[in-house]
A = this chain, B = another copy of it.
């Protein structure tokens, strides 16, 4: 018999692709576990064979899905006790190192692996067609109730402050990068399914109260804390877009400037000014014309561009600044 509290270590992958202006992540079916939740691909570190963490990741992603990863970046290491409610009951502590990978979408060959639009998990994050209605219709009133439900005036002030900052309320202004902050607030306020599920599992009770179901936001839950990992990934990616030319990992070798812009917009969740975007990427030397044309644009043909790898040596930190228009 092992000591009661062991540590297990593993790797999670947030594999991102953008197709048809929809950012997607690769999910797998959660093993067993009732109503079959979405989960992030997960795999072990094999110390005997994997010389580095990211090689371990690439190995089992290929084994599980047939997908060869290109750009890979470590995101964060999750080790909270609460991340797996079963641990409170004596299971091993599960430490996961999460990675972000950017690929061009292809069919993942593993059974059960599926591409899912990531805004299904975070409907409040997509502002491309304006402020998502779920904010005014569901989130704001629910947060208001949560704020009012605090025990005293100081706690209420604190909650309101956090809600304002996270969701850009009362004059604060939306900050696209605060994805994790928003998800964590919604979790704490009991507006996402995971919050109730975790409480129920920890306390052994069966189903969340009816009242809870009524206030849940329409959004897709995930296994364990995987939606938190996903929020971390989205926030990090949005931040990185602004100062590193990572978008190109998601695009084919040549593309029109509008295609490039659409991918950035899909990730950033906002619309950008077309002419300025074009000027920005051109003056930053991020792309170079190929001379070829794309004629399937639906309008005037567009020139095809390709990423100029040399920029990496020209500017300290080249990138695409996806400054959201202030509303």
Contacts and interface: CB of A to CB of B under 8 A. Distances in A.
Given A45-B7, A172-B313, A314-B172, A80 B51 contact: yes
B77 A77 contact: yes
A7 B93 CA distance: 13
Interface in A27-71: 45, 47-48, 50-53
B93 A79 contact: no
A306 B82 CA distance: 37
A81 interface: yes
A161 interface: yes
A53 B77 contact: yes
Contacts of A45: 7, 79, 93, 95
Given A7-B47, A93-B45, A313 B79 contact: no
A173 interface: yes
A175 interface: yes
A4 interface: yes
A205 interface: no
A164 interface: yes
B313 A9 contact: no
A14 to B, nearest CB: 15
Interface string A68-112: 000000101101111000000000110101000000000000000
A138 interface: no
A316 interface: yes
Contact of A79 (B4, B7, B52, B79): B52
A149 to B, nearest CB: 21
A309 B76 CA distance: 26
A213 interface: no
A77 B97 contact: yes
Contacts of A4: 48
Contact of A53 (B80, B161, B316): B80
A295 interface: no
B53 A177 contact: no
Contacts of A6: 47
A202 to B, nearest CB: 12
B5 A47 contact: yes
Contacts of A173: 316
Contact of A316 (B95, B97, B175): B175
Nearest to A8: B7
Interface in A148-164: 161, 164
Given A95-B9, A161-B313, A317-B177, A52 B80 contact: yes
A129 to B, nearest CB: 21
Interface of A: 4-7, 9, 45, 47-48, 50-53, 74, 76-77, 79-82, 92-93, 95, 97, 161, 164-165, 172-173, 175, 177, 312-314, 316-317
A-B CB proximity, top 3 nearest: A47-B93, A175-B316, A53-B79
